[in-house]
Structure 1
């Protein structure tokens, strides 16, 4: 049986990389892609998702529009890194039109798909967790219907990339992250910011990856140019944790969802999100001392099979 996935995305460059990995894996069936604000505006996210599907010849995959803003926090985007449109501001005059989108709201679609496939669907969340938080408030039973949840977000060493102590996806909507980590009691796997930095790939691999003679590789090279120039800058290297290479943050969570053997070491620990700190709002908190009394624990990734990761990335652009 194929793995049934729902992808919840805010399609910037790394979401595009993750989506393409899932689309090209023969073991995967994508039941729907739900879109959320985040790297760019919701309208751009929807457009970007369709652009990725088009280059992969998979416009048959249903795409749903979801939450356009955080639950309580002010809007924040990542145009400084991904480009204002989320895909490096690379022109695309032949981009698919938004009329291809599904009419159903992303949150409603997420709930419906989970109900129709009880215990079979893995949810991969690479965006701020707003859609997931709204879904569990509308249907508190959704976590028990999921097979697993994979999240790219949060941090483990209080090292931020958006605020002093906050990773982007959690810092953009801390209340949503808090709700999801509190109420989604299905098996939960987290690829944190510092983890992804410590598992970055050599730039020489990136050149090989983008150098493949395919339409997909040409598309990825075009949309990645802006963010990769930023990532290779001296200022950015100072901001990151051991970030001396190519870091496709979202794709680690996707690879783990696709292949059960990808994660080679993880910590099983209860997690929550700080909501009130002057400097720590949005920071993920790991309860190693078990003072929170939470029964549900998440698997926080520490090490993965990077050779397998390289192969999956190479295949995604073939």
Structure 2
């Protein structure tokens, strides 16, 4: 069977690492490239983190490209310490001092355009961080989106409840202009795993303990990088989300990756145009669902709403159960 071709655009924090491991374990996926963008940490750390993840599964042959180090407009508020200053929990001592020798010299945006142009209508793009690289790609090549097979985004919110600002989700809040450009100009089939979708389909902490205590290199890696990170503290996450969501284990970026790997994981979605607000001090970066289409937009996206958590859990388990090489 022909494998699904994928480019992963990431700001590699702990949940990105889990999503990448999920993609590496999927037998029907071929990862053409990993492109890096600022977000959870600086882009240099992101590049190093991607190499760390690929090394765990002995998949060092996948090309990695360095991309945008800040947002399209203005200065980055760089960055969140949600997953530690290095993005992987600040527990790894194996600093790869040679990662700059391993990184591809081509810029991530140019690589995206080239790879998609070589395999038009065959490549799925999975965007796990701020959308800066994607916005630059469409500005350099306006035909880029129509050459994609489809686009999966982890980001945005459905109800104006933010996790970085009052009204905006982290990835969109880090670069609202890029989020706006992508959701206005990418007319390919688009699937959005929002913050609420991830939180409302949380898994149990008992599942998390079973997940990371498997006796494999990937599980030991995930156990280590989550060991001192407050975002993987049962008590901290209960306190943070009780207002809107039931507490539980949430690996945000893995929800978008799971939808790309197996569409049946998504059991319900909202089909409508969306808009990213760029003005104001409160709502900037918020994603608005244009359900009545008062904005008269023709492009409709799929905003994911419900998840088959059993299938999702199985994908997570397999991602850490995989052999070291493939």
TM-score bracket relative to the smaller structure: over 0.9
Question: What is aligned with 2:203?
Answer: 201
CA drift at 1:76: 2.9
Verify: 1:2 aligned to 2:3, yes or no.
yes
Aligned with 2:151 (options 149, 152, 156):
149
Question: What is aligned with 2:30?
Answer: 29
Question: What is aligned with 1:97?
Answer: 98
CA drift at 1:263: 1.0
Question: What is aligned with 1:268?
Answer: 271
Instruction: Please give the root-mean-square deviation of Cα atoms over the aligned residues, in Å.
Output: 1.4
Matched-pair contact (CA < 8 Å) for 1:263–1:301 = yes
Question: What is aligned with 2:324?
Answer: none
Question: What is aligned with 1:233?
Answer: 235
Matched-pair contact (CA < 8 Å) for 1:150–1:190 = yes
Aligned with 1:249 (options 252, 256, 277):
252
Question: What is aligned with 2:293?
Answer: 290
What is the CA deviation profile of residues 112-145 of structure 1, one whole-angstrom value per residue up to 9, with x for unaligned ones?
Answer: 0110001000000000000000000000001110
Q: Tell me how far apart the structure 1 counterparts of residues 71 and 274 of structure 2 sit (CA, whole Å).
A: 21
Q: Tell me how far apart the structure 1 counterparts of residues 25 and 143 of structure 2 sit (CA, whole Å).
A: 31
Q: Relative to 1, partners in 2 of residues 1:291 and 1:116: Cα closer, same or farther, differing over 3 Å?
A: same
Runs of 4+ aligned structure 1 residues displaced above 6 Å come to none
Verify: 1:314 aligned to 2:292, yes or no.
no
Q: Tell me how far apart the structure 1 counterparts of residues 16 and 231 of structure 2 sit (CA, whole Å).
A: 18
CA drift at 1:239: 4.3
CA drift at 1:218: 0.7
Task: Kindly tell me the number of residue pairs found equivalent between the two proteins.
Answer: 318
Matched-pair contact (CA < 8 Å) for 1:237–1:243 = no
What is the CA deviation profile of residues 246-294 of structure 1, one whole-angstrom value per residue up to 9, with x for unaligned ones?
Answer: 1000000000011121211000010010000221000001101111111
Judge which range, 219-228 or 157-166, deviates more.
219-228
Q: Tell me how far apart the structure 1 counterparts of residues 312 and 285 of structure 2 sit (CA, whole Å).
A: 29
CA drift at 1:228: 4.9
Q: Relative to 1, partners in 2 of residues 1:277 and 1:293: Cα closer, same or farther, differing over 3 Å?
A: same
Aligned with 2:140 (options 132, 138, 141):
138
Matched-pair contact (CA < 8 Å) for 1:73–1:172 = no
Q: Tell me how far apart the structure 2 counterparts of residues 308 and 134 of structure 1 sit (CA, whole Å).
A: 35
Q: Tell me how far apart the structure 2 counterparts of residues 313 and 93 of structure 1 sit (CA, whole Å).
A: 25
Q: Tell me how far apart the structure 2 counterparts of residues 258 and 305 of structure 1 sit (CA, whole Å).
A: 13
Unaligned runs of 5+ in 1: none
Matched-pair contact (CA < 8 Å) for 2:15–2:253 = yes
Q: Tell me how far apart the structure 2 counterparts of residues 311 and 230 of structure 1 sit (CA, whole Å).
A: 20
Question: What is aligned with 1:84?
Answer: 85
Unaligned runs of 5+ in 2: 322-326
Question: What is aligned with 1:189?
Answer: 191
Matched-pair contact (CA < 8 Å) for 1:73–1:173 = no
Q: Tell me how far apart the structure 1 counterparts of residues 200 and 265 of structure 2 sit (CA, whole Å).
A: 16
Q: Tell me how far apart the structure 1 counterparts of residues 231 and 170 of structure 2 sit (CA, whole Å).
A: 19
Q: Relative to 1, partners in 2 of residues 1:70 and 1:185: Cα closer, same or farther, differing over 3 Å?
A: same
